[in-house]
Amino acid sequence: MVPATIKTLPRVLFFTLSSVLTIFMSDICGAG
């Protein structure tokens, strides 16, 4: 169970980070 979590965590983090980054960038573009 632990190895699977260690394997999945980076993917979830990357997905969340890219999603937030996309929204953040589109927000800046919309404001600008």
* pTM reported for the whole predicted model: 0.57
pLDDT of residue 5: 85
3-state secondary structure 1-32: CHHHHHHHHHHHHHHHHHHHHHHHHHHHHHHC
Distance CA(16)–CA(25), nearest Å, equals: 14
Q: What is the pLDDT of residues 1-32, one digit of tens each?
A: 678 888 899 999 999 999 999 999 888 887 65
Provide the 10 A C-beta neighbour count for residue 1. Answer: 5
Provide the 10 A C-beta neighbour count for residue 12. Answer: 10
Distance CA(8)–CA(18), nearest Å, equals: 16
pLDDT of residue 32: 57
